[in-house]
Chains A and B, each alone.
Chain A
């Protein structure tokens, strides 16, 4: 106690600051950084969860590069990103832009768009999975059959399956992005639009010269946020394809699902950790790139 009494005020403040900071620091250290470091370590080892860990050097990474499934999965992961991010960005902007002008039932409409975001991804994926079934259970195919149109193999197809899985994932994330966009739109000062209208400028010029440039920080946030989400997509794919995870023929398998399978079905922890490190690097690069590209000027 005397030790504490002898400290200067400045030192006491630092001591208190650290006392409060200790909780998050410990949390991050133990829950985040320690396992991350451990995962990187395991990626250079061979371990089946039961026996001892043995060093295998770069073997796991060599196996990764030579694995055709990994490259297929790599491509899928970027397809989810390349399709998902722009589609959800454009859709959520259009909806937010229009919703911002609507006065009638504004809050109800906003809630309806936000609802899917609050719904459990697992429940949603299963409902969509049943929508996509062939006759006689699937909603979509039953409708098609009644109209006399041949059935569409939504999930049992190497070409249709990925977009079919992506659609509910986009829908689910839309509500959140709309709310963020609307907040961004509200933050633009009305005086700019008034000035534009006095000058007789049309809506298109207003949109491209005022709204979009001033929304830049919002767009950066949404792009980074949704990109990370699509790169880590798992729940929707796993639940819509549980019988044949990531199938058919790996057509829908994203990296996270491959990691999960390698770790908890094959018990090949080293290989799974190597895949995790690759995912980590991809996420890092994509995020940094987007921040740089969208923040320039």
Chain B
């Protein structure tokens, strides 16, 4: 509180000094994001570059802890306070449009057809009725992390390319004690982590299905393909015994401890794995399905112009949005935050696409899908419960899958009802 007060006073002094210095044609716009160290550093760098190129515009960045972010935004904008450009999770877009917190990006500067062509296809989830409301600087996708030391020990020469190879390699990597308890898993699993994305957007599609219809408003996985996908997932633990959900509490913890051969996770995990001593790991694209289908899941944070922004400030906000979605900004974001560029023109450069760490994630973006969630945590819970019912209560897979589809449809219906 005292710190923020002091910041306001300082900012006030600085801005009044700026007013005296550059007469009256300077515009100040405000940018809000939630607090995450690397993202703040990257944005500071972008603001500095932007201000150098546009000396008549100053950008003031304010950050909030993640937990308070939504409430603050909701309270400030209707009151005419707060940001001109705001950061939000892609899944919140509908809520923000409904609450009239953000305005569409102007067609003149952000022609929808150009964006369709220049960004990775999953960004089209940000288009409502032909108009883009928000755009990402960076995106995230999934890939397979593998422990090189354990691979060597098991005599496997490279990461698996197909789902069948995944099972075979996992078998070689699994270790058990005398009583049959697993002490090292071949592959980590857990619907509570990233597996619900892997199941939804990757496995179901690889077994020939389409997880949702009507722009993610109708659940469509209670099908043969859905059942095959669930069978494959459940078999990893039940039939092949190469994994145990909840092993070492969290999948990433098991991988970090060197007790897991393979681990599916997002690009945001790279940073925390880089610091683990003695862990030698590599990244590979997700294994392809039985018919060679590659698929991936992508999520991202976007920036949008708020409804509070008008006149000069809005013009400045548009310029700022253009800059933060430029190729230059995306390269900065990749280098500072480690998140992937949202445009193929930056991502698919030779250097980026063949980067040993980021490459597999970036190549995955080409066939990535973005689930349009109504309520991500509730929809994740549906899949967590689906597996728990078969695992703990011994419910047949068909029955549990049908119930999951029904439960998730209920969430979607309720959300889209009003």
- Closest residue of A by beta carbon distance from B246: A156
Residues of A within 8 A of B392 (CB): 153, 156-158, 248-249
Between A and B, 21 residue pairs with Cβ closer than 8 Å are A50-B73, A50-B98, A50-B101, A129-B249, A134-B181, A134-B244, A136-B181, A145-B177, A145-B181, A150-B179, A153-B392, A157-B392, A158-B392, A158-B393, A243-B192, A249-B388, A265-B375, A265-B377, A265-B378, A266-B377, A267-B95
The 4 nearest A-B residue pairs measured at CB: A50-B99, A243-B192, A51-B99, A135-B181
**Shortest CB distance B244–A (Å):** 7
**Is B224 an interface residue when CB atoms closer than 8 A count as contact?**
no
Give Cα distance in the complex from A135 to B377, angstroms: 29
Assuming A130-B249, A133-B248, A133-B249, is B384 touching A244 (CB within 8 A)?
Answer: yes
Q: Which residues of A contact B (CB under 8 A)?
A: 48-51, 129-130, 133-137, 145, 148, 150-151, 153, 155-158, 243-244, 247-249, 261, 264-267
B11 interface residue per 8 A CB criterion: no
Interface band, chain B: 35 or more
Q: Can you name the residue of chain B whose Cβ is closest to the Cβ of A156?
A: B246
B71 lies within 8 A of chain A by Cβ:
yes
CB contacts (< 8 Å) of B391 on chain A: these are 156
In the assembly, what is the distance between CA of A150 and CA of B181, in Å?
Answer: 9
Which of A130, A153, A243 has the most CB atoms of chain B within a 10 A radius of its CB? A243
Query: Once the chains bind, are A247 and B388 in contact (CB under 8 Å)?
Result: yes
Structural contact, A243 and B250, CB atoms closer than 8 A: yes
Supply 16 further A-B pairs (C-beta < 8 A) apart from A136-B259, A158-B392. Answer: A48-B95, A50-B73, A51-B95, A134-B181, A134-B246, A135-B181, A135-B182, A136-B248, A145-B179, A156-B246, A158-B393, A244-B192, A244-B384, A244-B388, A249-B385, A265-B377
Report whether A266 and B96 are in contact in the complex, using a CB–CB cutoff of 8 Å: no
- How far does the Cβ of B238 sit from chain A's closest Cβ, in whole Å? 14
A264 to B74, CA, bound (A): 14
Interface residue ranges of B210-253 to A (CB < 8 Å): 244-250
Return chain A residues, CB-CB under 8 Å to B259: 136
CB distance from A57 to the nearest CB of B (A): 15
Distance of A264 Cα from B328 Cα, bound (Å):
36
* B70, CB-defined interface residue at 8 Å: yes
B134-178: which residues lie under 8 A (CB-CB) from chain A? 177
Across the two chains, which residue of chain B brings its CB closest to A265? Answer: B377
Q: A266 near B183 (CB under 8 angstroms)?
A: no
Q: Compute how far the CA of A261 lies from the CA of B380 in the bound complex, rounded to whole angstroms.
A: 13
Task: Name which residue of chain A comes closest to B249, CB basis.
Answer: A133
Contact with A along B364-401 (1 / 0, CB 8 A): 00000000000101100100110011011100000000
Instruction: Give Cα distance in the complex from A169 to B249, angstroms.
Output: 20
> CB-nearest residue of chain B relative to A135?
B181
Q: How far is the CB of B185 from chain A (nearest CB, A)?
A: 11
| Nearest CB in chain A: distance from B87 CB, A | 15
Any A CB within 8 A of the CB of B282: no
B71 touches A49 (CB 8 A): yes
Q: Which residue of B lies closest to A246 (CB)?
A: B381
CB neighbours (8 Å) of B96 from chain A are 50
* Given contacts A50-B99, A266-B377, A249 and B389 within 8 Å (CB-CB): yes
Please tell me if B121 contacts chain A, counting CB pairs below 8 Å.
Answer: no
Q: Is the CB of A49 within 8 A of B177?
A: no
Bits for B95-132, please: 1 = Cβ < 8 Å to A, else 0: 11011010000000000000000000000000000000
Set B74, B247, B393: member contacting A50, Cβ < 8 A:
B74
Q: Which residues of A contact B183 (CB under 8 A)?
A: 135-136
When distances are taken between beta carbons in the complex, the residues of chain B under 8 Å from A133 are 248-249
- Which residues of the other chain, A, contact B381 by a CB distance below 8 angstroms? 244
Q: Which of B325-377 contact A (CB under 8 A)?
A: 375, 377
Residues of B with C-beta under 8 A to A266:
375, 377-378
Tell me which residues across on chain B come within 8 A of A264, comparing CB atoms: 67
Of all chain B residues, the one with the shortest Cβ separation from A148 is B179
What is the CA–CA distance of A92 and B177 in the complex, to the nearest angstrom? Answer: 41
With a 10 A CB-CB cut-off, give which of A150, A244, A264 has the most chain B CB atoms: A244
A156 neighbours in B (Cβ, 8 Å): 245-246, 391-392
Complex: A212 Cα to B353 Cα, angstroms:
76
